[in-house]
């Protein structure tokens, strides 16, 4: 999605198995034309994809979501929001278990914990 100009990443800070950044959405992106006309909001599936993309970018691994144990959409995220994303993860045998929160000021907008598996290239 970031490559499709849906959002940009700012103010990135990270350390071992932790990442914090701010997301800025492109209010003119086609996603907002269909979700929902006249009252655009960031689709929930896009938030989950952003988590995956941030984790991939940080770890350098190609990942797929295997399990989402706790996903909570607590407030609508509108195109002019710039939520802070705080994410931490633990290595597993096959990938990473991640906990993430999107916040704007002190309000929690979205939170999730899930397991991402490393995708291995097929061997011919």
Per CATH, domain 2-118 is 2.40.110.10 = no
H runs (alpha helix) in the chain: 30-34, 44-59
Specify the pTM: 0.92
Separation of alpha carbons 27 and 60, rounded Å? 28
38: pLDDT strictly greater than 70:
yes
**Where do the structural domains in the chain lie, given as residue ranges?**
2-118
Residue 10 β-bridge partners = 22
The whole-number pLDDT of residue 12 equals: 96
Question: pLDDT confidence of 2, banded at 50, 70, 90?
Answer: low
Average pLDDT over residues 81-92: 97
User: Residues, the chain, total?
Assistant: 124
Per cent of the chain over pLDDT 70 is: 94
């Amino acid at each position: 999605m970031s490559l499709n100009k849906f959002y940009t990443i700012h103010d990135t800070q990270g350390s071992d198995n932790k990442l914090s950044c701010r997301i800025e959405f492109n209010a003119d992106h086609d996603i907002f034309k269909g979700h929902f006309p006249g009252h655009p909001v960031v689709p929930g599936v896009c938030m989950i994809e952003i988590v995956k993309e941030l984790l991939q970018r940080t770890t350098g691994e190609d990942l797929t979501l295997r399990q989402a144990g706790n996903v909570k959409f607590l407030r609508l995220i509108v195109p002019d929001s710039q939520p802070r994303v705080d994410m931490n993860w633990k290595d597993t045998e096959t990938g990473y278990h991640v906990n993430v929160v999107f916040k704007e000021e002190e309000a929690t907008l979205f939170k999730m914990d899930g397991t991402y598996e490393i995708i291995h290239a097929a061997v011919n």
